[in-house]
Amino acid sequence: MQPLLKVTDAECRYGDKLILESVSFVLQPGEIACLLGPSGCGKTTLLHAIAGFQPLAGGSISLGPSILSGSGQMVPPEQRQIGVVFQDYALFPHLSVAQNVAFGLRSLPRGERDGRVSELLALVQLTPYASQYPHQLSGGQQQRVALARALAPKPRLLLMDEPFSNLDTELRRSLAAEVRHILREEGIAALIVTHDRSEAFVAGDKLGVLAHGQLQQWDTPQNLYRAPANGAVARIVADGNLLRGKYLGDGWVETALGRVQVGERGAAHDGHQNLQVGSALEVFARSEDLLPGEHDCAVSVQVVTKSFLGNSALYCLRLPNGRTIDATLSSEYRFEPGSEIPMRLDRPLIFPA
């Protein structure tokens, strides 16, 4: 199957400043992918390059068999068959909801245009609001109008730049699931930029992690969480602490949290047989993988603070070397600040230093 979108060694610059370097990935027809990463990592720049708002300094971008950018080509944004939903929605304040949705359909006959608008308003559950104006809608409703407007001309690909960032946490997650359903109903592939991993996990079939101007990993959300390619990816897709480690041999690594065993993730991709005794390693301790209780590999830690989160609690723990780390434990544990408890790390992620 030919990919719908193919990005090959894409490079972007602002003047002399390199923003993106050697970014490559493919998006299949009907697939929904999310670009995840911290602010300033180049997510929006990459989206703009795909949309045609940002030229490439190197590499290429193709939609189906057609080159959009690169190799001397630069197809204008309006000819790319790509829809865009901007972070601020960019709705026309003087147009009604129905008129906003119809904006990109002006070339269609009146009856066909009205039918498409009605179909989309029903899809995004805004039929009763057709005659209202953007300022009369909630943030979530405005987001749906922007989505319907972008979908109206039936683009081959939809790009969404931080589409839920103006909404509260619970609404962001529910709308991420709703947008996924709407895109599935329309059969349109999408690339969504976000800095919120919860949104990315909910919405994406694929997830790309950008850091330091490079695509660190492109995979399913499950694979990224279970087997991040490096410490940078691990820190972006999970809450946790990066520790130093030293390889002791026979699959064991010494850390400030005691001895841990190399499992089937992280550096285990290469196998611990390739590690030399004394090798420096990075050990990522996800906060939910810290377990209390007596154990051969446990070390004594001191509870510094405790924050109640409902069915769990977030603890700040001081290690024997003086460093503090966070641990998320079930609320069934009743540890109080100042107490000493044995703690060990289960399922560590190990990476070369």
pLDDT on residue 251: 87
Strand 252-255 to 349-352 pairing: unpaired
**Statement to judge: residues 198 and 342 lie in one domain:** no
The answer to whether residue 140 scores a pLDDT higher than 90 is no
Region 187-191: what's the mean pLDDT?
Answer: 95
**Statement to judge: residues 34 and 59 lie in one domain:** yes
**Statement to judge: residues 207 and 137 lie in one domain:** yes
pLDDT on residue 137: 94
Region 288-311: what's the mean pLDDT?
Answer: 93
How would you class 302 by CB atoms within 10 Å of its CB: exposed for 0-12, middle for 13-18, buried for 19 or more? middle
Rounded Cα–Cα distance for residues 116 and 105 (Å) = 9
**Statement to judge: residues 125 and 26 lie in one domain:** yes
**Statement to judge: residues 262 and 346 lie in one domain:** yes
Enclosing domain of residue 244: 239-352
pLDDT on residue 9: 98
**Statement to judge: residues 53 and 129 lie in one domain:** yes
**Statement to judge: residues 226 and 323 lie in one domain:** no
pLDDT on residue 273: 54
**Statement to judge: residues 96 and 220 lie in one domain:** yes
Check which CATH number belongs to the domain holding 256 and give it: 2.40.50.140
Residue 82, Cα to own-chain centre: how many angstroms?
21
Side chain identity at 238, as an amino acid letter?
A: A
The domain boundary residue, chosen from 195, 213, 231: 231
- Separation in Å, CA 252 to CA 246, 270, 271, 272: 9, 15, 12, 9
The domain boundary residue, chosen from 231, 250, 274: 231
Rounded Cα–Cα distance for residues 190 and 204 (Å) = 9
Region 328-345: what's the mean pLDDT?
Answer: 94
Which of these ranges, 88-92, 126-130, 204-208, has the smallest mean pLDDT? 88-92
The answer to whether residue 170 scores a pLDDT higher than 50 is yes
**Statement to judge: residues 195 and 218 lie in one domain:** yes
Q: Global pTM?
A: 0.88
**Statement to judge: residues 219 and 243 lie in one domain:** no
| pLDDT 10s digits, 4-24 | 999 999 999 999 999 999 999
Region 279-286: what's the mean pLDDT?
Answer: 93
Instruction: Give the closest residue to 47 by CA, choosing from 107, 79, 94, 5.
Output: 5
The domain boundary residue, chosen from 231, 249, 275: 231
**Statement to judge: residues 142 and 227 lie in one domain:** yes
| pLDDT 10s digits, 37-74 | 988 899 999 999 999 999 999 999 999 999 999 988 99
| pLDDT 10s digits, 197-245 | 988 998 999 999 999 999 999 999 999 999 999 999 999 999 999 999 9
Three-state DSSP class for residue 319: coil
Region 297-319: what's the mean pLDDT?
Answer: 95
Instruction: Give the closest residue to 237 by CA, choosing from 38, 51, 6.
Output: 38
**Statement to judge: residues 175 and 26 lie in one domain:** yes
Check which CATH number belongs to the domain holding 23 and give it: 3.40.50.300
| Domain count for the chain | 2
The answer to whether residue 268 scores a pLDDT higher than 60 is no
Region 249-277: what's the mean pLDDT?
Answer: 72
